[in-house]
Structure 1
Amino acid sequence: MVRVTTTNRRTALRAGAAFATAGALAAGCATHGAVAHPAPVTRSSGSRAPTPRHYPAHPTQVTHGPRTRPHVALTFHGGGDPATARALLTEAERHNGRVTVLAVGTWLDEHPDLARRILDGGHDLGNHTLRHLDINAMSESEAREEITGCAQRLKRLTGSIGTWFRPSRAPRASSLVEQLAHSVGYPHVLSYDVDSLDFTSPGAAAITRKVLGEIRDGSVVSLHFGYADTVAALPAVLEELDRRGLRAVTTTELLS
């Protein structure tokens, strides 16, 4: 078990107080109404919009990276209060970390500027379906629409369909969803080997213990935007990663 220092606890309390509204807590996996035509994001010269890559050494469904390097990937399901998202990105950058954001399409409709914010920070941006429904339970046509709907929004906003696809409401894609993602242009489905369970709002200390108790070289961690507990836990997580010599990188860097 990792001890959270007094400084970390104060940081966590301040962050938790700033974001502990009922709306923010419920927003991480919520579905939002779509806006038909969001304004395109004008990307600055420093932003990147990479496309998906095939990694022959890794399976179609990626759960972790190489266990031989001190790199880990913190991956966030993109939804909820944009202020929470910005706070998490800023905290990662303060520790020289980079993350992977799997964005919900309707969330991008409501907050198109966040696509630029994510890319300009040097982070990965990917596809977490259009409406964040149970994609593995859908028909082929419905599932295809969920994947392509988000891909189209990413393409319109950034010029790319995003670097990764992660299924909604499931840690792994069904064989059908895997095939559909591949047909849209995603060679890999991004899963994870560490689940923070932050969407259950267990408290910042519980998230910190869960992540740091399981994370190791090459791990891919599942986290969420939109939850105050996650904001409160992140400083302690990042500080302990620094102490262990583990570097938080994008999933693209983790597998490269």
Structure 2
Amino acid sequence: MRNGPRDRPKVALTFHGDGPVELAERVLSEAERHGAHLTVLAVGDWLDRHPRMARRVLAGGHDLGNHTEHDLDICALEERAAHAEIARCAARLRRLTGSIGSCFRPSGTRHATPLVRELAARVGYRTCLSYDVDSGDHADPGPTTVTANVLDTVRPGSIVRLHLGRPGTAEAIPHILTGLTRRRLHPVTVTDLLGG
């Protein structure tokens, strides 16, 4: 799933869940100040190091999903290893929150292969998430570029790819949220975006 319905003024800001907790807190708090809801696709070993972040994400009204256990290129793994990457993160999410999370995003690729979609479904994920807007923040181009990358290409129904652990992203978020408001686009969770 790379986008939601184009006929509603909603977008989903989705975040790779990894990196310094202080930056994650800045992003989540800023979203909450703006009344925005995000989707965090957590890396399992990040939650292992920072288990309280699972409940913190949910307490803010955000979605929490699975981005594999170790953030490896899942399409390059053999079937058993790929399944383990999805299943281990799902098990960690269930231990921490009582749920495997709202959706799965494959690591190391924009689009899941048919095998990866099948493995995710086997673990219990009905939604295998992609995106139609890439902020490019993983390359640390600075907050101005991250903001422009999002606001220049976002449209109703967009699913935007961002990262919690990047300083430029934390700096860009207030500008992105203000820009979305000016465009009358509402940042919602993936569950809300895809659910109608």
TM-score (normalised: structure 2): 0.99
Asked if 1:198 is matched to 2:137, the reply is yes
Q: CA deviation at 1:229?
A: 0.5
Alpha-carbon distance between aligned partners in 2 of 1:90 and 1:188, rounded to the nearest angstrom: 26
Letter paired with 1:122: G
Distance apart, 1:255 and its partner CA: 1.1
Tell me the SS of whatever aligns to 1:190.
coil
CA-CA distance at 1:188 after TM superposition: 1.7
**4+ long deviations beyond 6 Å:** none
CA distance in 2, matches of 1:246, 1:175: 32
Deviation at 1:253, TM superposition (A): 0.4
Alpha-carbon distance, 1:139 to partner: 0.2
* Aligned pairs, number: 195
SS of residue matched to 2:41: strand
Deviations 1:151-210 (A, max 9, x none): 000000000000000000111111111110011100120100000010000011111111
Q: Give SS of 2:65's match.
A: strand
Distance 2:145 2:191 in 1: 28
Structure 1 letter corresponding to 2:22: A
Counterpart residue number, 2:84 = 145
Counterparts of residues 108-187 of structure 1 (less than 5 Å): 108-187=47-126
Q: Name the residue aligned to 2:185.
A: 246
Aligned to 1:220: 159
**Offset from partner CA, 1:198-231 (integer Å, 9 cap, x none):** 0000011111111000000000000001100001
Q: TM-score, normalised by structure 1?
A: 0.76
CA distance in 1, matches of 2:157, 2:127: 16
- Give the partner amino acid of 1:74: L
- SS of corresponding position for 1:66: coil
Deviations 1:48-70, CA, capped at 9 Å, x for gaps: xxxxxxxxxxxxxx100000000
1:69 aligns with 2:2: no
Q: Any stretches of 5+ residues in structure 1 without a counterpart? A: 1-61
The one-letter amino acid of 2:160's match is V
Percent identity for Structure 1 against Structure 2: 55
Alpha-carbon distance, 1:126 to partner: 0.4
